[in-house]
Structure 1
Amino acid sequence: MEGEAEGAPLVRLSFDRLTRDGTTEPVDRLLADEVPVAIEFNGIGYAVLMATPADIPDLVLGFALAERLIGPEDAPFDVDAHVTDQGIVARATLPQGRTPALLERVRHRASESSCGICGIENLEQAIRPLPRVSARSAADREAIFRALTHLPDHQPLNAATGAAHAAAWVGADGGIRLAREDVGRHNAFDKLVGAMRRMGAEWDGGFALLSSRCSYELVEKAVLSDCPLLVTISAPTRLATERAAQAGLPLVVLARSDALLARR
């Protein structure tokens, strides 16, 4: 049955706990939910994401920014999210004048590399030029360590399930101002950027803290949101460091409670 509300991010299931000494006991465990989210822009089916069914309007707005379907000059748009038996359908109308960009991206996403030229076009779309980051972070290492200490306080879904990533907006003083969670690290960051955009919030000399590895997609999302510093718990890929350098995005990776690696 269809509904207007988002689904619940938690479900409870029963398991058998099997121990090494041969005992078996029934246990209940909370699991993070994951459902298909079908995103439609201007009546066109654009993408299906597997995501935690929470903060869907933030997810769609952040995703549109990351896909470059809208720009920093565009106002946030409304999202109609409908729960169905199969998942969530999220519908949005892009600002006037963005239809050509939408149709161009749909063409590239839907095309198959049946010839060399098409393949080259798709590769160019996959690694598109990035703008330069204009914002600057005022955070020092103590601010980063402070944020790392308090990040678990902003991860209720992960605390309950052990299966969710977090993306946090951190102030220059290390205080966490906003966080979003999702089973997907990309979704969590899109939700954070979308929520900040809806609030009219800027990075304000702070940084983004992600409970994940530093992939090139996350670097691109950070750059497109003009994030002044990206901090991740795990290591980066080579492409992520190259893309960050090209865009002037400072990276802090392998950020742990006692040490971190900084690349500027």
Structure 2
Amino acid sequence: MTLHLEPVIRLPQTSVARGVFAEGERVLPEETPVALTYNGSTHAVMMASPADLEDFALGFSLSEGIIADRSELTSMEVIEHELGCEIRMWLQESCSGAYRSRRRAMAGPLGCGLCGVESLEEAVRPASKVAGTLQLPPKAIAAAMADLSEAQRLNREARAIHAAALWRPEQGLIAIREDIGRHNALDKLAGALARADEPCSASMVLLTSRVSVEMVQKAARMGAPIIAAISAPTALAVRVAEGCGITLVAVAREESFEVFTHPERVQHLGS
């Protein structure tokens, strides 16, 4: 197998329409195994788009609570292997103990008995509290989602790629990242924003996917007070967003959307 490190690739295909066969090509998204290692130990292997991998590694480290600040990550190296990529990261000694404890908690599915209790707690861990005062009119949310659609360069080519973006009033889109995985796209966004020292407290996170609980947890750790997504949320995601103070806007298409939590941040609602 040949490793491809472009996020999209053009491959031959045969199309069939009303019994007529035609040879052609289609642009498809690439997916690559990416191993994330800390201090010499493999933490996770993710299938991801092979782009913005440094952002991915930093964002994953922050959103998963492995580090609290990018300064705790002392070095990072992306290494290409025949079957995928390895991102080698080294942590400050001061946070190595916390990482080892977290790694043991996440290893529960590999064990038995009470180990699984720790893993269940890890899966539904409380999200960080968010207290931003950002308020937006409905037309701003609709405009932001339109900006997101326009900015999805990779998805325009392959039609199978998720995106996550940060949008701010008066500035529009601050950053956007794309990936085959919705979680990966949000981690890449978090990493890009951390590298640029961009705060999220007066901004809205935009998603092209459904909103599961992990997406709320990641956005909360970023400090974003509003999430707007194209698809619907899960019920657990709604409960977690309510508890941590995030305004959850979903099913946002054209000029309509639904608000599930903290409607006071959408002007003319909750007053």
TM range, smaller chain: over 0.9
Partner secondary structure for residue 50 of structure 2: coil
Partner secondary structure for residue 50 of structure 1: strand
Structure 1, unpaired ranges of 5+: none
Q: Read off the aligned partner of 2:200 and give its amino acid letter.
A: W
The TM-score with structure 2 as length reference comes to 0.90
Residue 27 of structure 1 aligns with which residue?
24
Residue 60 of structure 1 aligns with which residue?
57
Partner secondary structure for residue 120 of structure 1: helix
Q: Which of 199, 204, 208 does residue 202 from structure 1 map onto?
A: 199
The TM-score with structure 1 as length reference comes to 0.92
Residue 17 of structure 2 is aligned to residue 15 of structure 1: no
Could you tell me whether the CA contact under 8 Å between 1:34 and 1:183 is conserved in 2? yes
Partner secondary structure for residue 118 of structure 2: helix
Taking the TM superposition and a 5 Å limit, the aligned residue runs for 1:1-264 are 7-19=5-17, 21-72=18-69, 74=71, 77-112=74-109, 114-173=111-170, 175-262=172-259, 263-264=261-262
Quote how far apart the aligned CAs of 1:7 are. 1.6
Q: 1:154 to 1:95 in 2, by over 3 A?
A: farther
Quote how far apart the aligned CAs of 1:260 are. 0.6
Quote how far apart the aligned CAs of 1:95 are. 2.9
Q: 1:114 to 1:82 in 2, by over 3 A?
A: closer
Could you tell me whether the CA contact under 8 Å between 1:214 and 1:240 is conserved in 2? yes
Deviations 1:31-67 (A, max 9, x none): 1110000011111110001000000010011101111
Q: Which stretch of structure 1 is more off in the superposition, 137-146 or 206-215?
A: 137-146
Q: Which stretch of structure 1 is more off in the superposition, 92-101 or 46-55?
A: 92-101
Q: Read off the aligned partner of 2:14 and give its amino acid letter.
A: D
* Aligned alpha-carbon RMSD (Å): 2.1
Give the whole-Å Cα distance in 1 for the aligned partners of 2:72 and 2:135: 27
Deviations 1:9-34 (A, max 9, x none): 11111111011x21100011111110
- Number of residue pairs matched by the alignment: 261
Structure 2, unpaired ranges of 5+: 263-271
Greater share of residues in strand: 2
Quote how far apart the aligned CAs of 1:82 are. 1.3
Could you tell me whether the CA contact under 8 Å between 1:146 and 1:174 is conserved in 2? no
Quote how far apart the aligned CAs of 1:148 are. 1.4
Partner secondary structure for residue 125 of structure 1: helix
Partner secondary structure for residue 129 of structure 1: coil
Quote how far apart the aligned CAs of 1:93 are. 1.2
Give the whole-Å Cα distance in 1 for the aligned partners of 2:33 and 2:227: 28
Partner secondary structure for residue 114 of structure 2: helix
Deviations 1:68-95 (A, max 9, x none): 0111484565421112210011011123
